[in-house]
Amino acid sequence: MNIIKLDATPSTNDFLKELLTNQFVENFTVVTAENQTSGRGQMGAKWEVEFGKNLTFSVLVKDVLTEINSIFHLNVLVAVSIIEALEHFNIPNLAIKWPNDILAESKKIAGVLIENSLKSNGEIFSVVGIGLNVNQKNFDELPKATSLSCILNHDLDKEAVMVSVIQNLKRNVALLQIGEYDKFWQTYNKKLFKKGIPMPFEGNDGIRFMGIIQGVSTYGKLKVMLEDDAVKTYDIKEIQMLY
């Protein structure tokens, strides 16, 4: 496993993307930083961690996106790979909050930011950024967050957790490439947070409504049963779960 270990960098995703513009980078190369100073989340959000306590790392996955495999397929694979690793470390009550938050005991324990780029030779490079809370204990600033150590009441070897996630991801990418997406999608649906439970939502028009999550379609749309029993599908920009 090719792991580039940094003491500090603004964002491991940015570091890996920069590296890709300058040199050949092996598939599944990992960049990890003890201190990530400007970690990014989805749509301009920040990823904040107590320095040195948690995992912030990015993995290069080449050519997994094809006409058949969409961005959401990779998203599913990454979420399931993290869940499998956390189960290996005996973390109970894991769930996936659509589209890509990993929750433990209903609190966010990991976040995923995947950024794709098309190279001039037609290759698609995916930079899979993962923030995983491992040994941080104080979440006063983030009351809806938790860590492995908060749940297990002891610290863990961060690198062992990271290696487990990467090994799962590598194996799962190989399975996706031979067409085995369905079982990951089923696991993703099984782990879906608040599935089957009435929940408040807000649409992109600002209107709030109640609905019941039925599942996620193969290409990542959220299926929600509305109060009139009709099932509607939404993409990420169309709906927000009020949780």
The residues that touch ligand BTX, with contacts defined as CB under 6 A, are 11-13, 36, 39-42, 45-49, 56-58, 101, 108, 111-113, 129-131, 133, 142, 145
Size (the chain), residues:
243
To ligand BTX, the closest distance from the beta carbon of 132 in angstroms equals 8
- What whole-number distance in Å separates Cα of residue 243 and Cα of residue 95? 14
Name which of 48 and 238 has its Cβ closer to ligand BTX: 48
Name which of 84 and 101 has its Cβ closer to ligand BTX: 101
Bridge partners of 231? 225
Beta-carbon-side half-sphere exposure of residue 56 (alpha carbons within 13 Å): 29
User: Which tokens in the block code for residue 142?
Assistant: 């983030």
Task: Identify the three-state secondary structure at position 173.
Answer: helix
Name which of 122 and 237 has its Cβ closer to ligand BTX: 237
To ligand BTX, the closest distance from the beta carbon of 179 in angstroms equals 28
User: Which tokens in the block code for residue 21?
Assistant: 């513009």
To ligand BTX, the closest distance from the beta carbon of 218 in angstroms equals 22
- What whole-number distance in Å separates Cα of residue 114 and Cα of residue 81? 14
Beta-carbon-side half-sphere exposure of residue 116 (alpha carbons within 13 Å): 14
Name which of 39 and 215 has its Cβ closer to ligand BTX: 39
To ligand BTX, the closest distance from the beta carbon of 150 in angstroms equals 11
